[in-house]
């Protein structure tokens, strides 16, 4: 799932909820309206750990948040649930903007930052989580969903089953920097549930 087209193809051929997300995104025209900002579907839906109430995430690159804000106000303000807010980012992070809309049965959160999508934390988190789920198989999907249904956020759920200490978001970024073999070898030794 490297490009937006790859993720959309994955959703189109996925389970019922993934296909519903695909049709919602296609029907809304969001990808076309945000095309200049390389919109990338991310989060729990593409990696099949979403639960009822999960939203669709779209990551965007916006060199100029003011211009991005003007675009979304022009293109999306008429959509149901529309709202936007800016944030300064945590220490060492870039300012960002989030916009929410509803398409079909899905709440959609659009996240824009000056950073290229492939360097945004949400993208990096999703890739390492996908790699871990490929290792864990159905048992991993079940375990993460179980924690999410108890109210856990995604990164803390992964950190918990891996026994990671400290800030789960930072720890997930840390292990994302490992190569595939290092990650898989380490995860085999540290995962708290049984998998094949």
Reported as a single tens digit per residue, the pLDDT across 69-113 is 999 999 999 999 999 999 887 666 789 999 999 998 899 999 999
Check: CATH 3.30.460 for 4-115? yes
User: Tokens in use for 64?
Assistant: 């100029």
pLDDT of residue 150 exceeding 90, the answer is yes
Task: Label residues 16-25 b or e (16+ Cβ within 10 Å = b).
Answer: ebbebbbebb
Percent of the chain with pLDDT over 70: 98
What residue spans define the domains of the chain? 4-115, 121-190
The label of the residue with tokens 């956020």 reads 153
Distance CA 174, CA 12 (A): 31
Q: What is the mean pLDDT of the chain?
A: 95
Contact between 137 and 191 under an 8 Å Cβ cutoff? The reply is no
């Amino acid at each position: 799932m490297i490009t937006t087209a790859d993720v959309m193809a994955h959703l189109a051929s996925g389970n019922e909820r993934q296909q519903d997300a695909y049709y919602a995104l296609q029907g809304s025209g969001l990808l076309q309206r945000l095309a200049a900002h390389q919109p990338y579907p991310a989060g729990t839906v593409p990696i099949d750990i979403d639960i009822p109430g999960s939203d669709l995430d779209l990551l965007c690159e916006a060199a100029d948040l003011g211009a991005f804000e003007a675009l979304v106000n022009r293109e999306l303000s008429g959509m149901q649930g529309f709202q936007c807010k800016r944030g300064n980012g945590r220490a060492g992070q870039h300012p960002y903007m989030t916009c929410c809309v509803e398409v079909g049965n899905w709440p959609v959160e659009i996240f824009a930052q000056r950073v290229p999508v492939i360097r945004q934390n949400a993208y990096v988190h999703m890739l390492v989580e996908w790699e871990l789920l490929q290792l864990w198989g159905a048992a991993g999907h079940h375990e993460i969903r179980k924690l999410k249904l108890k109210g856990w956020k995604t990164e803390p759920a992964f950190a918990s089953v891996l026994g990671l200490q400290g800030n789960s978001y930072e720890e997930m970024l840390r292990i994302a920097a490992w190569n595939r073999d290092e990650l898989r070898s380490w995860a085999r030794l540290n995962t708290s549930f049984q998998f094949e």
